Structure 1
């Protein structure tokens, strides 16, 4: 049997592992962290991603664990006027799957359970790799080595494998900064825990909330602009008072949500971008997820596109007896779609954070529906 190594144990890596197991393979996953885990935050799973997860057996898990927001509401950040109501009540009929939101840690738990832990190698940080016509050698920071017939690099924005294969430039700061926190639902008003996604929009910034774990927690994400990123860490603790200053003068909903954040519960991180790649495969090694196509979060497609990648890759291996041909099929099937999502997501901030929020009401910009993003089904899309 083809020996497949997956480098990276996040959402994309685990989804890929499950898809490959479904295709009859027995991949081994290598993760740099000593144990699986996600910093507390929410995640949106649009119908294109949900259809992929359902195809690998996670339907019951999603139905029992995720929330399904029936409306996405956009408000003027300063006046509180409603600008747009995106109705998701018919999403299942329209796109073949629901729009879901949940705690990232819960999604990780579901993926780990589905993949299993017997083929997971933890605390294995990749240092380098080399390949020849027969196999790939993996070299880890603990001075151990492993070999595989195929390697899938799912090692994120700062991918070691991407740099080895294609020697691409370092990621660049996008000018966008994200803030996130989880707030106990009982500390906020009823709107925050309804089955809705509440987004307040202003010039150059916005703040969104939605419930996770039923109504126990409310996920808060704020997106702002900055001239540079000076933190030593890409992800740092921040003070709620600092965020309150950034959103001073906004509606009571926004100021009350920020005031409810625990002093140690707010994180801030700079959003970095990399140029699109036209090639994801070199020999026996392929990239997947953020390693191939990192994108800004304005359309919620980062994790969803990695899930798409994993599902399609599993199907390509199921359809080909030659693993090299499977990788070529995967690349052909995914590069154009991912480049489209990357470009539209990176433009999304300029659309969403229009200088005049009334533009969103009077001339709604292209969103996921208008762009046809949700129609895509990684479990059935034609493979070239």
Structure 2
């Protein structure tokens, strides 16, 4: 098997590296951020994602770093219960924990941090280091996120658009507040639509929370932690008391402000010897809760076909044929969930589950 360059050390890149490591395939990861750059947010992982993840992470170790959620419960912003649904093997964990678990299986000499990789315009399929030198690799697997620079350079006619939703995500350590929350996924909805506050319990003393904003009604600009906190307190002031209590007691050092983008149409998943996985191939609206699972499945099937096929062109083709139809389902489901989020609560459908299934 030829040497592989993996660009990006997020969930998809590290998942890919773990599968390559498992099959003893030579690779190296290049990540433009610092190793410690771990914003405070997390994931919901449905049962299918757990099945793929536990092929590369010890199951018992994984389950020490998060919680299985019993129910999804919707409330109005003042605390009236709107609906609830049982959850089956849906696991909540922080990005920090999952990154650490995936990184521990990768030899440190196989990851280079603070290294920006770009295509070399004069050579098809060639990547270069920040100093302009070629990267020594026969295949490049790109996992550099939803606004992938490398994808944009290869597919220059692509059109990205900002989704009508922004998110603020954070993690709070507070035993008293955590004790007041069951092992459920709780979500408060403003009755007029376009504004929510979700709460996930990750451990006995840790809560992950996030707020979703219709960005045409609520303008959130890049701002200091203190200004963001004050803005949040103002917006959620008259909500159920649990919501402003969590906002008030949170540390905003690692808060993550997420402006969501999507491709109007998917590009091919590969070109020449360069192939895309995870958000770099197919940005998903966060309402799907399928980001981690899709990244894991991309990594699993791409590795499988690289092992089975005699050349990478056939492997890439099989990978795209396998993954693209399911991704298109999740994209459509995500757009439907986004449209519902923008509506008044009285117009919500009965299908309240915040996870896209194929």
TM-score, normalization: structure 1? 0.84
Q: CA deviation at 1:18?
A: 1.0
For 1:58, the equivalent position in structure 2 comes to: 58
1:176 CA drift (Å): 1.0
Change beyond 3 A, Cα 1:102–1:16 = same
- Aligned residue for 1:223, secondary structure, equals strand
Measured against aligned partners, the alpha-carbon deviations of 1:348-378 in whole angstroms (never above 9, x if no partner) come to 12224531x2444xx4136467x644xxxxx
Taking a change above 3 Å as real, the CA distance of residues 336 and 288 of structure 1, as seen in their structure-2 partners, is same
2:178, 2:352 → 1: CA distance? Answer: 31
1:122 and 2:113 equivalent? Answer: yes
Cα pair 1:4 1:152 within 8 Å, conserved: yes
Q: Secondary structure at the match of 2:339?
A: helix
1:35 aligned to 2:23?
Answer: no
Separation (CA, whole Å) in 2 of partners of 1:149 and 1:62: 33
Task: Tell me the residue number matched to 1:95.
Answer: none
Are the structure 2 counterparts of residues 254 and 368 from structure 1 closer, same or farther at C-alpha, using a change threshold of 3 Å? closer
What pairs with 1:339-354 in structure 2 (closer than 5 Å)?
339-354=328-343
Number of aligned pairs?
A: 354
User: Could you tell me how far 1:189 is from its partner in structure 2?
Assistant: 6.0
Q: RMSD of the alignment, in Å?
A: 2.4
The counterpart of 1:103, out of the listed 94, 97, 100, is 94
Give 1:115 deviation, angstroms.
2.5
Q: CA deviation at 1:39?
A: 0.8
Structure-2 separation of matches of 1:223 and 1:295 = 15
Contact map agreement 1:20 1:317 (CA 8 A) in 2: no
Cα shift at 1:20: 1.9
The 10-residue stretch of structure 1 (35-44 or 69-78) with the greater mean CA deviation from structure 2:
35-44
Cα distance change on mapping 1:196 and 1:38 into 2, 3 Å: same
- Between the aligned partners of 1:189 and 1:6, the Cα distance in structure 2 is 38
For 2:200, the equivalent position in structure 1 comes to: 210
Partner residue in 1 for 2:171: 182
Separation in 2, partners of 1:181, 1:247: 15
* 1:109 positional shift: 0.5
Change (3 A) 1:131 1:102: farther
Q: How does 1:1-384 map to 2 (within 5 A)?
A: 1-35=1-35, 37-78=37-78, 80-88=79-87, 91=88, 98-129=89-120, 136-169=125-158, 171-188=160-177, 190-192=179-181, 194-202=182-190, 203-212=193-202, 214-227=203-216, 231=221, 237=225, 238-262=227-251, 264=253, 266-355=255-344, 357-360=345-348, 363-365=349-351, 367=353, 372-373=357-358
Which 10-residue stretch deviates more, 137-146 or 173-182? Answer: 137-146
CA distance in 2, matches of 1:131, 1:61: 46
Equivalents in 2 of 1:272, 1:2: separation in Å?
34
Q: Is the 8 A contact 2:148 2:280 kept in 1?
A: yes
Inter-CA distance 337–248: structure 2 relative to 1 (3 Å threshold): same
Secondary structure at the aligned position of 2:135 is classed as strand
State the distance in 1 between where 2:214 and 2:152 align: 28
Determine helix, strand or coil for the equivalent of 2:331.
Answer: helix
Mark the runs of 5 or more structure 1 residues left unpaired by the alignment: 92-97, 374-384
